[in-house]
Amino acid sequence: MTTKILTKEDAKNAVYGGCILGGGGGGWIEDGLAKTELAFAVGSPKLVTVDELQDSEYVACVSLVGAPSAKDAWTDSEQLISTVSRMQKEFSHPIKALMTNENGAATTVNGWLQAAATGLPFLDAPCNGRAHPTGSMGSLNLSEVEEYTSIQAFAGGTGARKVEGVVSSTLDISSNTVRSVSVQAGGMIAVCRNPVSIGYVREHAAVGGITQAIELGEVFFSVPEGPERIEAVASHLKGRVIHSGTVSSFELKAINGFDVGFVQIDGLELTFWNEYMTAEMNGERKGTFPDLIMTFDAETGMPLVSAELEKGMAIAVISVPKEYLKLSSTMSNKRLLQAIEPIVNKKIL
């Protein structure tokens, strides 16, 4: 495989394809598009495959941590880039590429700016090929590696809420620290974290996940605006449209930096923890995280994240079995999946 110079067309496809793979989370389309504008103003990011790097070389993950609905969230280009420079100073080996934590409207392109600014390539292997709520779920099962030290460089906030620094500890302590700092910073911070070898990435990440998002975006835009787009996306992913109807009730609460709630569309109930966790039609389970459950505007076919929904909206819902997604090894880690159950009060395992 040869290095691919990413284009603005790739960026648009990555944002929309990523939004669908976000499964209700993964950030907002406007933010994703704005991020790519910043990236291309700096340069053209390069996409590389795992086969272009040595197994012993190191890659670091860039991410945003926080609640998508936070009103005071603030991160700028300088902060995003500064986390990479800080990581390069902190870590004992050279960082050879950057990767993102997950697919989502804003997250598939996480790191394109940092890659363009630093000259580092961007890896076609997100930590997870779909969006997920917890930091541990995007940490390549490092939670199971004894003695692993999680280094996380962070920056975010503005004015009196501005914060930057680095934390080095166990994965849980580092992730929880960064999550609580994001709340102090106004709801969102930029992070560069958890350097790992390419050999480890090959085994645990969603290899080819960025290309998957770009190709899904191509499918989405190949169909004129309207409900046919939803059908095209569902069939490309080997999933199906499970229901189309009007939102009769919607509840969203911001809890500890996460968006938690449920949506009722006629007899279909969806629960979410940033991302959609369960879909039940009259009590019968139609999808369970890490299956992909995603909502769309029933008329235009535009993907809608969970925080965007409102009572009275006409929406369509798709479900894609997890077998057809590119997923991290974390998505079969029962301990990590168990954490969802008390949040949404549903059986996950």
Q: What totals of helices (H) and strands (E) does the chain contain, helices first?
A: 10, 16
Query: Do 274 and 153 fall within a single domain?
Result: no
Query: Do 77 and 160 fall within a single domain?
Result: yes
Query: Do 194 and 305 fall within a single domain?
Result: no
Which amino acid makes up residue 315?
A: I
Domain boundary among the residues 183, 210, 237 is at 210
Structure confidence by residue, pLDDT tens digits, 274-297: 999 999 999 999 999 999 999 999
Q: Is the dihedral of CA 142, 126, 153, 161 positive or negative?
A: negative
Percent of the chain at pLDDT > 70 equals 99
For residue 261, being part of any structural domain is answered with yes
Closest to 180 measured CA to CA, from 272, 67, 91: 67
Size (the chain), residues: 349
Distance between CA 171 and CA 169 in Å, rounded?
6
DSSP labels, 184-206:
HTTSEEEEEEEEEEHHHHHHHS-
Query: Do 270 and 204 fall within a single domain?
Result: no
- The CB density around residue 248, as the number of other CB atoms within 10 Å, is 13
Q: Give the pairing type, strands 122-123 and 46-48.
A: parallel
What's the CATH code of the domain at 161?
3.40.1610.10
SS (H, E, C) 145-158: CCCCCEEEEEEECC
DSSP E strands: which ranges in 256-299? Answer: 258-265, 268-273, 275-281, 284-288, 292-297
Contact 26, 20 (CB under 8 A): no
State residue 305's pLDDT score. Answer: 96
pTM exceeds 0.85 for this model:
yes
Query: Do 274 and 186 fall within a single domain?
Result: no
- Which range marks the domain in which residue 32 is found? 4-210
Query: Do 294 and 152 fall within a single domain?
Result: no
Contacts of 92 (CB under 8 A, 6+ apart): none
φ, ψ for residue 150, nearest 5 deg:
-95, 110
Q: Which residue has the tokens 């940490």?
A: 139
Distance between CA 232 and CA 220 in Å, rounded?
7
Averaged confidence pLDDT in the chain: 95
DSSP labels, 234-252:
HHHTT-EEEEEEEEEEEEE
Query: Do 30 and 161 fall within a single domain?
Result: yes
Distance between CA 209 and CA 199 in Å, rounded?
17
Query: Do 17 and 149 fall within a single domain?
Result: yes
Q: What angle do CA 209, 211, 212 make, to 5 degrees?
A: 60
For residue 98, being part of any structural domain is answered with yes
Query: Do 265 and 300 fall within a single domain?
Result: yes
Count CA atoms closer than 13 A to 10's CA, side-chain side. 17
Q: Compute the radius of gyration of the chain from its Cα atoms.
A: 19
Query: Do 13 and 141 fall within a single domain?
Result: yes
Contact 268, 242 (CB under 8 A): yes
Q: Please provide the distance, in angstroms rounded to a whole number, between the alpha carbons at the two ends of the chain.
A: 38
State residue 68's pLDDT score. Answer: 58
Token pair in block for residue 270: 């969806």
Query: Do 158 and 258 fall within a single domain?
Result: no
DSSP labels, 132-143:
-SSTGGGTTTGG
Mean pLDDT, consecutive 10-residue stretches, the chain (349 aa), reads 89 98 95 95 96 98 80 90 97 97 95 96 98 89 92 97 97 91 93 97 98 98 97 98 97 86 97 97 97 98 96 98 97 95 94
**DSSP single-letter state for residue 17:** H
State residue 1's pLDDT score. Answer: 57
Give the 3-state secondary structure of residue 264.
strand
Number of domains in the chain: 2
Token pair in block for residue 116: 């363009």
Distance between CA 84 and CA 119 in Å, rounded?
11
For residue 215, being part of any structural domain is answered with no
